Amino acid sequence: MQIGMIGLGRMGANMVRRLLRDGHECVVYDINEAAVATLAREGAIAASSLEAFVDRLEKPRSAWLMLPAAFTGQMVGKLAALMEAGDIIIDGGNSNYRDAVDQAAKLQPKGLNYVDVGTSGGVWGLDRGYCLMIGGPEAAVKHLDPVFATLAPDTGEPASPTGSTAPRGYLHCGPSGAGHFVKMVHNGIEYGLMAAYAEGFNILKAANAGNVVRAADAETAPLDEPQYYKFDIDVAGVAEVWRHGSVIGSWLLDLTADALKTDPALAGFGGRVSDSGEGRWTLKAAIDTGVPAPVLASALFDRFSSRGESAFADKLLSAMRFAFGGHVEKPKDGQ
Amino acid sequence: MQIGMIGLGRMGANMVRRLLRDGHECVVYDINEAAVATLAREGAIAASSLEAFVDRLEKPRSAWLMLPAAFTGQMVGKLAALMEAGDIIIDGGNSNYRDAVDQAAKLQPKGLNYVDVGTSGGVWGLDRGYCLMIGGPEAAVKHLDPVFATLAPDTGEPASPTGSTAPRGYLHCGPSGAGHFVKMVHNGIEYGLMAAYAEGFNILKAANAGNVVRAADAETAPLDEPQYYKFDIDVAGVAEVWRHGSVIGSWLLDLTADALKTDPALAGFGGRVSDSGEGRWTLKAAIDTGVPAPVLASALFDRFSSRGESAFADKLLSAMRFAFGGHVEKPKDGQ
Amino acid sequence: MQIGMIGLGRMGANMVRRLLRDGHECVVYDINEAAVATLAREGAIAASSLEAFVDRLEKPRSAWLMLPAAFTGQMVGKLAALMEAGDIIIDGGNSNYRDAVDQAAKLQPKGLNYVDVGTSGGVWGLDRGYCLMIGGPEAAVKHLDPVFATLAPDTGEPASPTGSTAPRGYLHCGPSGAGHFVKMVHNGIEYGLMAAYAEGFNILKAANAGNVVRAADAETAPLDEPQYYKFDIDVAGVAEVWRHGSVIGSWLLDLTADALKTDPALAGFGGRVSDSGEGRWTLKAAIDTGVPAPVLASALFDRFSSRGESAFADKLLSAMRFAFGGHVEKPKDGQ
Amino acid sequence: MQIGMIGLGRMGANMVRRLLRDGHECVVYDINEAAVATLAREGAIAASSLEAFVDRLEKPRSAWLMLPAAFTGQMVGKLAALMEAGDIIIDGGNSNYRDAVDQAAKLQPKGLNYVDVGTSGGVWGLDRGYCLMIGGPEAAVKHLDPVFATLAPDTGEPASPTGSTAPRGYLHCGPSGAGHFVKMVHNGIEYGLMAAYAEGFNILKAANAGNVVRAADAETAPLDEPQYYKFDIDVAGVAEVWRHGSVIGSWLLDLTADALKTDPALAGFGGRVSDSGEGRWTLKAAIDTGVPAPVLASALFDRFSSRGESAFADKLLSAMRFAFGGHVEKPKDGQ
Contacts of B129 in chain A (CB under 8 A): 244-245
- The CB-side HSE value for A282 (13 A sphere, CA atoms) comes to 36
C182 close to C211: Cβ distance less than 8 angstroms? no
Are residues B292 and D301, on separate chains, in Cβ contact within 8 Å?
Answer: yes
The full 3-state SS of chain D, as one line of letters, equals CEEEEECCCHHHHHHHHHHHHCCCEEEEECCCHHHHHHHHHCCCEECCCHHHHHHHCCCCCEEEECCCHHHHHHHHHHHHHHCCCCCEEEECCCCCHHHHHHHHHHHHHHCCEEEEEEEECHHHHHHHCCEEEEECCHHHHHHCHHHHHHHCCCCCCCCCCCCCCHHHCEEEEECCCHHHHHHHHHHHHHHHHHHHHHHHHHHHHCCCHHHCCCCCCCCCCCCCCHHHCCCCCCHHHHHHHHCCCCCCCEHHHHHHHHHHHHCCCCCCCCCCCCCCCHHHHHHHHHHHHCCCCHHHHHHHHHHHHHCCCCHHHHHHHHHHHHHHHCCCCCCCCCC
Instruction: Give the DSSP letter of residue B107.
Output: H
Rounded to 5 degrees, what angle do the CA atoms A255, A257, A261 make? 120
pLDDT digits (tens, 9 = 90+) for D265-295: 999 999 999 998 999 999 999 999 999 999 9
Distances (CA, A) of C256 to A230, B317, B322, C189: 44, 9, 10, 17
Chain A nearest C-alpha distance from D305 (Å): 8
pLDDT at B192 over 90: yes
The SS3 of residue B263 is coil
Contacts of C274 in chain B (CB under 8 A): 219-221, 321, 327, 329-330, 335
> Would you put residue C315 in left (φ > 0), alpha (ψ -120 to 50) or beta?
alpha
Chain D nearest C-alpha distance from B74 (Å): 22
Neighbors of chain A with 3 or more C-beta pairs under 8 Å: B, C, D
Name the active-site residue from C25, C42, C190, C329. C190
- Give the pLDDT of residue A334: 41
Catalytic status, residue A190: yes
Q: Which of A290, A301, A307 sits opposite C294 (nearest CB)?
A: A301
- Give the pLDDT of residue D335: 37
Are residues D292 and B304, on separate chains, in Cβ contact within 8 Å?
Answer: yes
Q: Which of A154-168, C241-255, D133-147 has the lowest mean pLDDT?
A: A154-168
Are residues A289 and B203, on separate chains, in Cβ contact within 8 Å?
Answer: yes
Chain A nearest C-alpha distance from C91 (Å): 23
Are residues B292 and D313, on separate chains, in Cβ contact within 8 Å?
Answer: yes
Interface of B with D (CB under 8 A): 247, 280, 283-284, 287-288, 290-294, 297-298, 300-302, 304-305, 307, 309-310, 313, 324-325
pLDDT digits (tens, 9 = 90+) for B103-117: 999 999 999 999 999
Distances (CA, A) of B236 to A167, B249, B292: 11, 14, 34
- Give the pLDDT of residue D270: 95
Neighbors of chain D with 3 or more C-beta pairs under 8 Å: A, B, C
From CA C273, how far away is CA D22, in angstroms rounded? 47
Long-range contacts of C326-329 (CB under 8 A, 24+ apart): C326/B10, C326/B122, C326/B123, C327/B274, C327/C219, C328/C219, C329/B269, C329/B270, C329/B272, C329/B273, C329/B274
Which residue does chain C place closest to D220, by CA atoms? C290
Closest CA to C177 of C216, C229, C136: C136
Residues pairing with D116 in the sheet: D91, D135
- Give the pLDDT of residue A78: 97
Distances (CA, A) of B84 to B54, B60, B109, B110: 10, 8, 11, 7
pLDDT above 90 coverage of chain D, percent: 87
Chain A nearest C-alpha distance from B58 (Å): 30
Interface of C with A (CB under 8 A): 247, 280, 283-284, 287-288, 290-294, 297-298, 300-302, 304-305, 307, 309-310, 313, 324-325
From CA A124, how far away is CA B21, in angstroms rounded? 39
Global pTM? 0.95
Q: Which of A70, A94, A199 sits opposite D216 (nearest CB)?
A: A70
Name the active-site residue from D25, D42, D106, D190. D190
Average pLDDT over residues B128-142: 97
The distance between the two most distant Cα atoms of chain B, rounded to a whole number of Å, is 76
pLDDT digits (tens, 9 = 90+) for A221-266: 778 899 999 999 999 999 999 999 999 999 999 999 999 999 999 9
Which helix (H) or strand (E) segment is C253 a member of?
Answer: helix C251-262
Chain C nearest C-alpha distance from B301 (Å): 10
Are residues C120 and D246, on separate chains, in Cβ contact within 8 Å?
Answer: yes
Q: Choose the mutation target among A199, A201, A225, A262 for the interface with B, i.e. most B CBs under 10 Å.
A: A199
From CA C133, how far away is CA D239, in angstroms rounded? 11
C223 close to D226: Cβ distance less than 8 angstroms? no
Distances (CA, A) of C252 to C47, C192, C320, D153, D250: 37, 12, 41, 20, 8
C72 or D330, higher pLDDT: C72
pLDDT digits (tens, 9 = 90+) for C6-36: 999 989 999 999 999 999 999 999 999 999 9
Contacts of D307 in chain B (CB under 8 A): 290
From CA A278, how far away is CA D236, in angstroms rounded? 34
Long-range contacts of A217-221 (CB under 8 A, 24+ apart): A217/D68, A217/D70, A218/D9, A218/D68, A218/D94, A218/D276, A219/A327, A219/A328, A219/A330, A219/A334, A219/A335, A219/D274, A219/D276, A220/A330, A220/A334, A220/A335, A220/D274, A220/D276, A221/B290, A221/D274, A221/D275, A221/D276, A221/D277, A221/D280
Averaged confidence pLDDT in chain C = 94
From CA C61, how far away is CA C144, in angstroms rounded? 11
pLDDT digits (tens, 9 = 90+) for B29-75: 999 999 999 999 999 999 999 999 999 999 999 999 999 888 999 99
Chain A nearest C-alpha distance from B248 (Å): 6
Residues pairing with A171 in the sheet: A133
CA–centroid distance for B30 within its chain = 22
Contacts of D251 in chain A (CB under 8 A): 324
Which residue does chain B place closest to D275, by CA atoms? B290
Name the active-site residue from B42, B190, B240, B329. B190
- Give the pLDDT of residue D316: 96
Are residues A314 and D123, on separate chains, in Cβ contact within 8 Å?
Answer: no
- Give the pLDDT of residue D216: 62
Are residues C181 and D125, on separate chains, in Cβ contact within 8 Å?
Answer: no
Q: Choose the mutation target among C274, C275, C304, C306 for the interface with A, i.e. most A CBs under 10 Å.
A: C304
Neighbors of chain B with 3 or more C-beta pairs under 8 Å: A, C, D
C272 close to B332: Cβ distance less than 8 angstroms? yes
Are residues B293 and D300, on separate chains, in Cβ contact within 8 Å?
Answer: no
From CA A158, how far away is CA A160, in angstroms rounded? 6
Question: Which of the four pLDDT bands, split at 50, 70 and 90, describes residue B217?
Answer: low
Are residues D155 and C249, on separate chains, in Cβ contact within 8 Å?
Answer: no
DSSP assignments along C81-139, one per residue: HH--TT-EEEE-SS--HHHHHHHHHHHGGGT-EEEEEEEE-GGGHHHH--EEEEES-HH
Contacts of D287 in chain B (CB under 8 A): 280, 283-284, 300
Contacts of A122 in chain B (CB under 8 A): 247
Distances (CA, A) of B100 to B67, B88, B113, B322, D33: 14, 13, 11, 50, 46
pLDDT at D221 over 80: no
Q: Which of D247, D298, D304 sits opposite B290 (nearest CB)?
A: D304
**ipTM, 2 dp:** 0.95
pLDDT at A166 over 90: yes
Average pLDDT over residues D57-75: 95
- Give the pLDDT of residue A335: 36
Question: Which of the four pLDDT bands, split at 50, 70 and 90, describes residue A69?
Answer: confident
B122 or D141, higher pLDDT: D141
A303 close to D327: Cβ distance less than 8 angstroms? no
Question: Which of the four pLDDT bands, split at 50, 70 and 90, describes residue B335?
Answer: very low
Residue C288, C-beta contacts closer than 8 angstroms, at least 6 positions apart: A280, D209, D223, D224, D225, D228, D229
- Give the pLDDT of residue A218: 61
Chain A nearest C-alpha distance from D138 (Å): 30
Averaged confidence pLDDT in chain D = 94
Catalytic status, residue D183: yes
- Give the pLDDT of residue D62: 98
pLDDT digits (tens, 9 = 90+) for A3-42: 999 999 989 999 999 999 999 999 999 999 999 999 999 9
Question: Which of the four pLDDT bands, split at 50, 70 and 90, describes residue D159?
Answer: low
Are residues A200 and B182, on separate chains, in Cβ contact within 8 Å?
Answer: no
